[in-house]
Amino acid sequence: MAKVYVFDHPLIQHKLTYIREKSTGTKEFRELVDEVATLMAFEITRDLPLEEIEIETPVEKTKSKVLSGKKLGIIPILRAGIGMVDGILKLIPAAKVGHIGLYRDPKTLKPVEYYVKLPSDVEERDFIVVDPMLATGGSAIEAINSLKNRGAKHIKFMCLIAAPEGVEAVKAAHPDVDIYIASLDEKLNDHGYIVPGLGDAGDRLFGTK
């Protein structure tokens, strides 16, 4: 069964407060999302495998640990997921980045796929799908379907804010995918927005309306 991790680190919670605040402008919103993505990447990479190599310090030869060279892929769900990519790449710069374009139909709230471009070696990579918002779960479920249909086997999902409804939907559709969240909010409103949430992540990130 999928595990759900809520990152309650004080720095993440502090920055998330200002991300939520409606008077926070586009520039600051973007910077904060980038910073929280880096902090979350630090937590999500906790289980990366290590191997020992031999090195020589100025004092003596010794064995020391390095990452074992696992291939990673970051998959932002367009548009808003893009805001989290650079923050993650600061810690894992060798990761490849694929893109899955989805928008939520405002009437049905169902995701509509319009773009998919993935690294060529999908089957060999471990993926982190990123999107600031997990609301009904439709977009995350569809993005993960899209990745699995192309051969991906190991997938994690990371978001800033999730609604309980979305978490349950992703767990039911993809029990093999662990979910990493900065905040589990209260509920969805009648328009499918997360309460209290942060509003429309894409609009706040890119200054559109």
Q: Is 78 in the site for ligand URA (CB under 6 A)?
A: no
Alpha-carbon distance of 143 to 69, in angstroms, equals 26
Active site residue 108: yes
Q: Is 165 in the site for ligand URA (CB under 6 A)?
A: no
Task: Identify the H or E element spanning 154.
Answer: strand 154-162
Active site residue 126: no
> Which of 32, 75, 85, 134 forms a contact with ligand PRP (CB under 6 A)?
134
Least distance (Å) from ligand URA to the CB of residue 194? Answer: 4
Alpha-carbon distance of 191 to 97, in angstroms, equals 31
Q: Which does 197 bind (CB under 5 to 8 A by kind): ligand PRP, ligand URA, none?
A: ligand URA
Q: Which 8-47 positions form the footprint of ligand PRP (CB under 6 A)? A: none
Query: Where do we find the tokens 């710069």?
Result: 93
Alpha-carbon distance of 150 to 121, in angstroms, equals 10
What is the β-pairing status of strands 61-67 and 50-56? antiparallel
The first and second tokens of residue 65, run together, are 């640990």
Q: Which 117-136 positions form the footprint of ligand URA (CB under 6 A)? A: 133, 135
Q: Which of 8, 105, 176, 203 is catalytic?
A: 203
Question: Looking at the annotation, which residues are catalytic?
Answer: 104, 108, 200, 203
Residue numbers belonging to the annotated binding site = 79, 104, 131-139, 194, 199-201
